[in-house]
């Protein structure tokens, strides 16, 4: 299967809200498989459909530790139905390469979602998986983790990131 191209900030599509998935067909299942392959190749622990240019409410996650077996989750139309506790952990994103920042999230969340056959599930998680669920669902709302930083930190990010992009462009031209 081909690896999908991951969009990088400031691609306009990353700011769009994705509509619900209504058809659970082979096309959806193929997209989910391709996204998983792209995520593992990156490597990353989560990927949302808008990051590969598809506006659909689909995310893939695998937050298993490196010494554990893989635990791949395909979540269609996912939503956080409850959350508790405050956490502040460092996050990064395949769409914002080279930048990490502490983001405020719930410590533990319950996610309701459908699998690629349309069956409903609920999953409660804390730790990395809990944060990952919140981060990936944000993508479906057109939100990046940098949108959750304070205005000051966000403007510092923009400055730093755009400068980095410019330097990369100049290197490519040279």
Which parts of this chain interact with Ni ion (CB under 5 A)? 93
Which of 1, 2, 11, 21 has its CA nearest to residue 94?
A: 11
> At a CB cut-off of 8 Å and minimum separation 6, what does 117 contact?
24
Q: Are 42 and 28 in contact (CB under 8 A)?
A: no
Q: Are 33 and 22 in contact (CB under 8 A)?
A: no
* Residue 169 C-beta: closest distance to Ni ion, Å: 23
* Residue 120 C-beta: closest distance to Ni ion, Å: 25
Q: Are 87 and 131 in contact (CB under 8 A)?
A: yes
Residue 47 or 116 having the CB closest to Ni ion: 47
Q: Which residues are catalytic?
A: 136
Closest residue to Ni ion: CB criterion: 93
Residue 7 or 118 having the CB closest to Ni ion: 7
* Residue 126 C-beta: closest distance to Ni ion, Å: 19
Residue 83 or 97 having the CB closest to Ni ion: 97
Residue 27 class from Cβ within 10 Å (0-12 exposed, 13-18 middle, 19+ buried)? exposed
Residue 89 or 117 having the CB closest to Ni ion: 89
Number of residues in the chain: 174
């Amino acid at each position: 299967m081909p690896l999908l191209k991951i969009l990088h900030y400031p691609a306009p599509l990353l700011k769009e809200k994705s509509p619900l998935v209504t058809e659970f067909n082979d096309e959806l299942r193929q997209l989910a498989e391709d996204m998983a392959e792209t995520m593992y190749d990156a490597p990353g622990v989560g990927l949302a459909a808008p990051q590969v240019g598809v506006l659909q409410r689909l995310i893939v996650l695998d937050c298993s530790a490196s010494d554990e077996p893989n635990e791949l989750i395909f979540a269609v139309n996912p939503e956080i139905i409850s959350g508790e506790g405050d956490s502040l952990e460092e996050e990064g994103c395949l769409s914002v390469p080279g930048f990490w920042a502490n983001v405020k999230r719930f410590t533990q969340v319950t996610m309701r979602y459908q699998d690629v056959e349309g069956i409903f599930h609920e999953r409660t998680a804390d730790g990395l998986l809990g944060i990952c669920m919140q981060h990936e669902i944000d993508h479906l709302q057109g939100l990046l983790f940098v949108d959750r930083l304070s205005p000051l930190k966000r403007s510092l990010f923009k400055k730093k990131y755009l400068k980095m992009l410019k330097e990369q462009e100049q290197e490519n031209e040279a």
